[in-house]
Amino acid sequence: MSQQKPRILWVEDESSFQDEMEEVFGKVFDISFANSSVQAQKLICLDELDYPLIIVDLYLENNKSEDGINLIRWIKEKLPWKKVIAITKDRHKYLKDAERIAGADDSFRKEELDFVDFFEAANKLLLKAKLFISYSRKDQKYLNDLSKRLKLFSNQGFIEAWEDNKLTAGEDWDERIKSELSKAHVIIFLLSPDAIASDYINDTEVRIAKERHQRGEVDIIPIVVRPCNWKPLFGRLFKIPRKIEAISLAENQDVIWLEIQEEIGKLFQSKK
């Protein structure tokens, strides 16, 4: 079975340039083109069409750099975890504005477009962040709730989440867990009395996570799912949810999970 190509939305109204980019990059990327910012917004808003990377020509229907900059700003405000590359045919100033003002992740001039450099930049932005989820089996319900909220990011190609439910029969579980901990970019701890009482979580998962965090190799997200004394483990880190002691105490847990989903999205954006 052939590997699915990463999906890209390219916002470009010059048909000859569209043809050239399709010929050069079509073999490695699944490219959809939008001819205007309005068309791009419609495509982005369709749930069934997910574009982890969006490339925006700053000069669109009105032939003003503000068109592309406003579109990038709209993307970053609505879906801050999406990656955006700005391109333009002339001045470097507008590319800097696209990054500084609108939040573009990278930028290129058309006249100086080196296909190798461009491909490497796009590929780097498309790399998935690896997440490790630590939890107690007594908190399976909360793991399921978290997985639903992470689906938004995994479907769009931003993350690859792992928890011990993905262990296979006959696998050395201790070796695999330590391997996944060592590769993770983000480690999420679902904290509860049962999680804190687990010797393996404390002696292995928390220890490795804190060692890597101290070296600046990984981000840690403590999520308190049931009231517990979590501060001796992660007292110097901000926990979520922020406005309530634990998820289990919330009258409307969907609202709290939305807050958590947004916090995770902000983390992805801060790591661009």
Amino acid at 136: S
Question: Do residues 265 and 81 touch, judged by C-beta distance below 8 A?
Answer: yes
Mean pLDDT of the chain: 87
- Say yes or no to pLDDT of 62 above 70: no
Residue 2's pLDDT band (boundaries 50, 70, 90)? very low
Q: Are 222 and 239 in contact (CB under 8 A)?
A: yes
Mean pLDDT confidence for 36-51: 81
Say yes or no to pLDDT of 61 above 50.
yes
Task: Kindly state the percentage of the chain with pLDDT values over 90.
Answer: 44
Which residues neighbour 218 within 8 Å (Cβ) at sequence distance 6 or greater? 184, 185, 186, 187, 209, 212
> For position 142, what pLDDT does the model report?
97
According to DSSP, residue 240 is labeled B
Cβ neighbours, 10 Å, residue 111: 8
For residue range 72-91, what is the model confidence (pLDDT) as tens digits? 999 988 887 788 999 987 66
Within 115-226, where are the H helices?
Answer: 115-125, 140-155, 173-183, 193-197, 199-200, 207-214
The least confident of 181-195, 219-233, 254-268 is 254-268
Cβ within 8 Å of residue 187, ≥6 positions away: 131, 132, 133, 134, 181, 205, 209, 212, 218, 219, 220, 221
Burial 67-79 (b: 16+ CB within 10 A, else e): bbbbbbbebbeeb
Would you say 130 and 104 are in contact if contact means Cβ atoms under 8 Å apart?
A: no
147-178: per-residue pLDDT in tens? Answer: 999 988 887 667 889 999 888 888 899 999 99
Mean pLDDT, residues 46-54: 75
pLDDT digits (tens, 9 = 90+) for 112-139: 788 888 888 888 888 778 899 999 999 9
Answer whether residue 93 shows pLDDT above 90. Answer: no
Q: How far apart are CA 108 and CA 85, in angstroms?
A: 8
pLDDT grade, residue 68 (50/70/90)?
confident
**3-class secondary-structure state, position 31:** strand
